[in-house]
């Protein structure tokens, strides 16, 4: 004979901890969200205000199944049952000895039908690789109970199905792309991927806030109660359940993180994030790669990306499963209407979330607009308006000026700044991309950024113009201060100086002529929507090189000069 006991307080549930954990150990559970430590931590933090009801099915006084529910009343007194942890637990299950699972489900559903008369059962996160959703579906069909099922894909890597060498070879192009960016980042400073002690996980939430400050975040990951939940969860000591937080750091500064909830042979990636200031170096990809390789080295069989259709989840997977949302109700008219509303809601939500372009529009574009309206100044509005007009139609006219070499003495002091120095500056993100493009940054004696220098290219980022320079010419960008000293500094190295000047900057052009610069070319770029037309005279560069006594071995460079992207 089966019977059930209702537990509504954490104190009551504590007495069943050993039984609960023994059942999961016996069944070799690898779902972290039904481990006793996860459930109890959620209940004491995020679920403290919910009406939690744990139904314990017993056989001859021995607990054989646990049903962790939250119950509330909706729409005229209809009782609504759902698994605990909605929005936080990606997967859920009935905690039961396998041989007693089906009898326990059938028994409890009959008892709830007799006790509550009108109710709706909404159970999320039921993996199809388990048999719980099939048992529920069988019960609904046999008893002619109205029900609906919704599916979501859950991609994962099974490291037992593929050797690491084969996995690396299969995705070698992705790994090479990551390595190229990693090499550029490591050339600028010290990069580490390391485990984070639970006392220092505040850096994870700070980084997540930076990551999402210009996006619309519905996860609530950085809210006070959520932070408390994860902080408490990391302190839990359990052999089956572990929370692992790792950080990607550049010179001791957090630029990426990952938090994983691991249960026996499954590594579930709960969340990842990276500093948007370092986007050009691909820290998200880098920490994703490191986390997968760490999971393999730690002998986890499954690396779980979680439920959803986000494109990045399908770039590495080897297998897929499906998680179900099972909705069942009694036969009354009101509960049928409520179930219909829930079905329409879930179908609409499914259509919207499966459209990645629509998700990006809502999450990224609308998030940027919200951030702009909240923080924009008058100058930002003007630049935004100008940028919008230039996307439709624009005319760019600028001249290239080059100075003759001068080995005179330079009395000014300029020191080169490395990326570690720039990170201390306000607005440093504006300079990070310059390092990735090959610029060198210099500051003056008052510690202010004086000029940027490129020894290979003319780089006009705003209009997308790139031009290869001769071997002994440097392109500089400065703010009109100390121009003569800057030119002298570069010329000290036996290099000529190249500067671009817009057509309306008459005063600047006159100053360049006074400093011995010569105009070698005028470039005109006409843009209409996505079409661009460039007008220029390439022989001016040849005349300039010949006037400087260049030999014929420099002419090969002229083939590369008109590069335009």
Are the beta carbons of 263 and 149 closer than 8 angstroms?
no
The alpha carbon torsion through 352, 356, 361, 365 (nearest 10 deg) reads: 140
Q: Encoding tokens for residue 521?
A: 């070319």
Interatomic CA distance for residues 182 and 440, integer angstroms? 19
Query: What pLDDT is stored for residue 563 in this prediction?
Result: 41
Are the beta carbons of 124 and 325 closer than 8 angstroms?
yes
User: Lowest mean pLDDT: which of 112-126, 402-416, 538-552?
Assistant: 538-552
Q: Encoding tokens for residue 449?
A: 């950024």
What is the chain's Cα-based Rg?
32
Give the tens place of pLDDT for each residue, 206-256: 999 989 988 988 888 989 999 999 999 999 888 899 999 999 999 888 999
Q: Name the pLDDT band for 30 (thresholds 50, 70, 90).
A: very high
User: Lowest mean pLDDT: which of 72-86, 272-286, 314-328, 412-426?
Assistant: 412-426
Q: What is the mean pLDDT of residues 158-185?
A: 93
560, pLDDT greater than 60:
no
Q: Name the pLDDT band for 542 (thresholds 50, 70, 90).
A: low
Query: What pLDDT is stored for residue 291 in this prediction?
Result: 95
Query: What pLDDT is stored for residue 421 in this prediction?
Result: 81
Q: Cα angle vertex 295, ends 293, 301, to 5°?
A: 120
Nearest to 105 by CA among 53, 33, 36, 57: 57
395, pLDDT greater than 70:
yes
Average pLDDT over all residues of the chain? 87
Give the tens place of pLDDT for each residue, 444-479: 888 888 899 999 998 887 777 888 888 889 999 987
Which residue reads 């720039």 in tokens? Answer: 422
Q: Give CA 267 to chain center in angstroms.
A: 18
Query: What pLDDT is stored for residue 538 in this prediction?
Result: 59
E-only strand ranges, 214-284: 241-250, 253-263, 266-274
Q: What is the mean pLDDT of residues 252-280?
A: 93
Query: What pLDDT is stored for residue 459 in this prediction?
Result: 83
Give the tens place of pLDDT for each residue, 431-441: 777 887 889 99
Q: Name the pLDDT band for 184 (thresholds 50, 70, 90).
A: confident
Query: What pLDDT is stored for residue 546 in this prediction?
Result: 57
User: Lowest mean pLDDT: which of 16-20, 94-98, 349-353?
Assistant: 349-353
Are the beta carbons of 460 and 398 closer than 8 angstroms?
yes
Give the tens place of pLDDT for each residue, 70-122: 999 887 788 999 999 998 999 999 999 999 999 999 999 999 999 998 899 99
330, pLDDT greater than 60:
yes
565, pLDDT greater than 50:
no
Return the number of other C-beta atoms located less than 10 Å from residue 545's C-beta: 19
**Which residues face 401 on adjacent strands?**
499, 519
- C-alpha distance from residue 294 to each of 31, 196, 203, 230 (Å): 20, 14, 21, 21
E-only strand ranges, 343-419: 393-403, 415-417
DSSP H helices, 393-526, are 419-422, 429-436, 483-491, 506-514
Query: What pLDDT is stored for residue 387 in this prediction?
Result: 82
Helix (H) and strand (E) counts for the chain? 20, 23
Q: Name the pLDDT band for 428 (thresholds 50, 70, 90).
A: low
Are the beta carbons of 126 and 92 closer than 8 angstroms?
yes
Q: Name the pLDDT band for 564 (thresholds 50, 70, 90).
A: very low
- The pTM of the whole model exceeds 0.85: no
**Which residues face 452 on adjacent strands?**
441, 477
Q: What is the mean pLDDT of residues 354-362?
A: 82
410, pLDDT greater than 70:
no
């Amino acid at each position: 004979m089966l019977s059930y006991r209702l537990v509504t307080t954490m104190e009551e549930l504590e007495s069943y901890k050993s039984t609960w954990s023994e059942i999961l150990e016996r069944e070799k559970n690898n779902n972290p969200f039904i481990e006793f430590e996860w459930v109890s931590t959620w209940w004491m933090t995020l679920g403290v205000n919910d009406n939690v009801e744990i139904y314990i099915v017993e056989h001859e006084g021995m607990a054989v199944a646990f049903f962790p529910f939250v119950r509330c009343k909706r729409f005229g007194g209809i009782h609504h049952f759902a698994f605990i942890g909605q929005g936080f637990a990606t997967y859920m299950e009935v905690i039961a000895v396998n041989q007693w699972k089906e009898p326990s489900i059938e028994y409890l559903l009959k008892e709830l039908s007799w006790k509550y008369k009108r109710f709706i059962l909404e159970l999320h996160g039921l993996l199809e690789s388990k048999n719980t959703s099939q048992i529920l579906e069988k019960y609904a069909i046999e008893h002619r109970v109205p029900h609906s099922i919704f599916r979501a894909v859950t991609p994962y890597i099974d490291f037992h199905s593929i050797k690491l060498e084969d996995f690396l070879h299969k995705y070698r192009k992705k790994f090479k792309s990551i390595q190229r960016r990693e090499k550029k980042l490591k050339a600028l400073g010290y990069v580490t991927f390391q485990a984070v002690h639970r006392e220092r996980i505040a850096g994870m939430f700070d980084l997540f806030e930076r990551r999402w400050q210009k996006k619309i975040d519905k996860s609530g990951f950085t809210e006070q109660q959520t932070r408390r939940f994860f902080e408490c969860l990391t302190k839990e000591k359990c052999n089956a359940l572990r929370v692992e937080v790792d950080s990607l750091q550049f010179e001791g500064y957090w630029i990426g993180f990952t938090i994983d909830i691991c249960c026996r042979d499954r590594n579930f990636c709960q969340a990842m994030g990276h500093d948007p200031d370092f986007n050009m170096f691909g820290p998200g990809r880098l920490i994703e790669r490191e986390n997968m390789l760490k999971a393999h080295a730690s002998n986890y069989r499954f690396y779980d990306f979680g439920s959803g259709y986000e494109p990045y989840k399908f770039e590495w997977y080897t297998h897929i499963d499906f998680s179900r949302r099972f909705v069942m109700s009694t036969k009354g008219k009101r509960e049928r209407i409520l179930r219909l509303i829930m079905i329409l809601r879930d179908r609409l939500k499914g259509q919207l979330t499966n459209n990645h372009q629509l998700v990006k529009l809502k999450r990224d574009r609308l998030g940027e607009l919200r951030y702009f309206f909240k923080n924009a100044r008058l100058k930002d509005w003007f630049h935004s308006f100008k940028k919008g007009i230039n996307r439709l139609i624009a005319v760019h006219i600028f001249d290239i000026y080059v100075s003759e070499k001068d080995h005179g003495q330079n009395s000014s002091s300029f020191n080169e700044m490395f990326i570690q120095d720039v990170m201390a500056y306000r607005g440093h993100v504006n300079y990070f991309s310059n390092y990735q493009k090959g610029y060198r940054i210099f500051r003056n004696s008052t510690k202010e950024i004086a000029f940027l220098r490129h020894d290979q290219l003319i780089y006009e980022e705003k209009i997308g113009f790139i031009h290869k320079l001769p071997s002994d010419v440097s392109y500089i960008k400065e703010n009109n201060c100390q121009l003569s000293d800057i030119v002298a500094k570069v010329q000290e190295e036996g290099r000529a100086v190249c500067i671009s000047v817009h057509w309306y900057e008459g005063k600047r052009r006159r100053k360049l002529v006074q400093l011995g610069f010569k105009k070698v070319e005028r470039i005109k770029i006409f843009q209409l929507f996505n079409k661009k037309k460039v007008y220029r005279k390439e022989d001016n560069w040849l005349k300039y090189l010949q006037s400087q006594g260049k030999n014929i071995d420099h002419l090969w460079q002229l083939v590369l000069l008109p590069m335009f992207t």
